[in-house]
Every structure is written in C-alpha cells, then in structure tokens.
Amino acid sequence: MKLREDEVRVGSAAGEIRAVVVAPAGGGSFPGVVLYTDIFQLTESTLRSARRLASEGFVVCVPEIYPHSELAGVALEFDDAGKARGLAGAAATSAAQFDADRVAVLDFLQRRDDVSSLLVTGFCIGGHLAFRAAFDERVAATVCFYPTGLHNGQLGADVADSLSRAGEIRGRLMVVFGSRDPHVPPAARLETVSSLYASGLTDVELHVYQGGEHAFMRDVGARHDPVLTDLALAEAVSFFRGR
C-alpha cells in the first residue's frame, strides 16, 4: 500500500505538539491509531513501525511525548546519553501533562476526515501511555507493547494511578510482554495481570513472548528480534481489526 507522510503540529493548552502522520494514500477512511514512542521519541526506528502499521490500512499519528520541553523536536540516539536525556524528559513530565497531551492528540485524530475510529498503541513508556489513553471512552482498542511502570506507577514526575484506574477502560485491551524483559520481570507481570483481573478486566488479551527482551521490536541493536516483531505486529493488526 502506498503511503503519505506528513509532519503536523497538534494544538494543546500547553503549546504545540509535533507529530508525524502516516496514512494510506489515495483517499478513503481508515481507523486512526495514536502510536506512542519509547523515551527516544520520533526516531526512524519508530517511524518504520508506524509505516508498517499504516500499510495495513490505518492512519497512524506518532506524537512527541516531550513536546513542551528542551526535547521538543529532538529524536534521541540509542546510546547512554540518549537514554539519560529520555529518562530525564519523563521525570520532568507529570501524569496530568501526559494525559492532557493525549486528549489533544485524540481530538486532532478524531477531527480528520480520513479517520473512522480511534485506536492506540505504544512501546515501553509509550505502552504505559497507551494504557492511560484507553481510559478515554472514544478508544475502541488498545495494544500495549512491553509497557513499563504499570505495576509500580513509574511514569514521570509523580506516581501514576494507572492500574488503579484500569476499571475505567471500556475498549478492548491487548498487552504484549517479553519473557526476558528486566524492566517488566515475572513478578511485575503477575502484579499487572492480577490488578487488571481484580478491576474486572478479565477479557484482556495477553502475550508473553518466549525469549523476548525489552524493546525487542526496536529494529536497532542486539535486542531486536525480527521474528517476534513480525508476530507482534501481525497480532496487533488482527486485534485492531476485531479478529
């Protein structure tokens, strides 16, 4: 499928949010997907994932997650310095600010003539942000890839209440973990799943991919697993389409 790709500015109360929209070319209406990045923001690696998803028939909007800070407009390198700056960006952003930006991006996507419904996905911290986006009743389905901080509320400048609000989720939810992810070890996965079930979300789709490390879908570096990446994307597309 041929795609078109545009850099846009999404208006919000705190200022503009830089985002990239990847959509099927040639007109028509498609499900819209907000895709949250990892701490490194709009890297080419994440944009390649967005393009793969868009080629399946989705309008994919990839916003910066630190659009109101010194990291606005910055795609960080996958090195120690980039990691430190990305973590600092998270530590300086409150859950309330992440939530406010999410509303702005969903509003933007919903207003587009080529968007028929709203879906959300994300990687790492973006998986956590996707989970919080699922609180919005407009979101029909959410896929969280190895979300970090769900079990202990670690998201940004304050302790996030994400798991305690899980009962607010009305759309369909799918969560993907890697079995060898040190950021979401077995105990954290168990705590997350137990809390979801306790909140009444007993119909969640869960995947734990054997051998998957943290960020196994990032196609840069030794942790990348192409086979698991293809499997996870195929499962996400199928899930978004309602099977």
Residues 2-51 have pLDDT tens digits of: 999 999 999 999 999 999 999 999 889 999 999 999 999 999 999 999 99
- The length of the chain is 243
What is the CATH number for 100?
3.40.50.1820
* Burial class for 40, CB neighbours closer than 10 Å (0-12, 13-18, 19+): buried
Cα–Cα dist 126/36, whole Å? 4
> What is the share, in percent, of the chain residues with pLDDT greater than 90?
98
* pTM of the complete model: 0.97
pLDDT band (50, 70, 90) for residue 1: confident
Q: For position 243, what pLDDT does the model report?
A: 79
**Helix (DSSP H) and strand (DSSP E) numbers for the chain:** 6, 8
Residues 114-143 pLDDT 10s? 999 999 999 999 999 999 999 999 999 999
Residues 203-218, mean pLDDT to the nearest whole number:
97
Residues 95-111, mean pLDDT to the nearest whole number:
98
- CA gyration radius for the chain? 16
**What is the domain count for the chain?**
1
Domain that holds residue 156: 3-240
Cβ-proximal residues to 39 (8 Å cutoff; 6+ apart), any chain: 65, 76, 83, 86, 87, 89, 90, 124, 125
Residue 69 pLDDT exceeds 90: yes
Query: In terms of Cα–Cα distance, which of 204, 222, 205 is closest to 213?
Result: 222
What does the CA dihedral 217, 243, 163, 95 come to, rounded to 10 degrees? Answer: 60
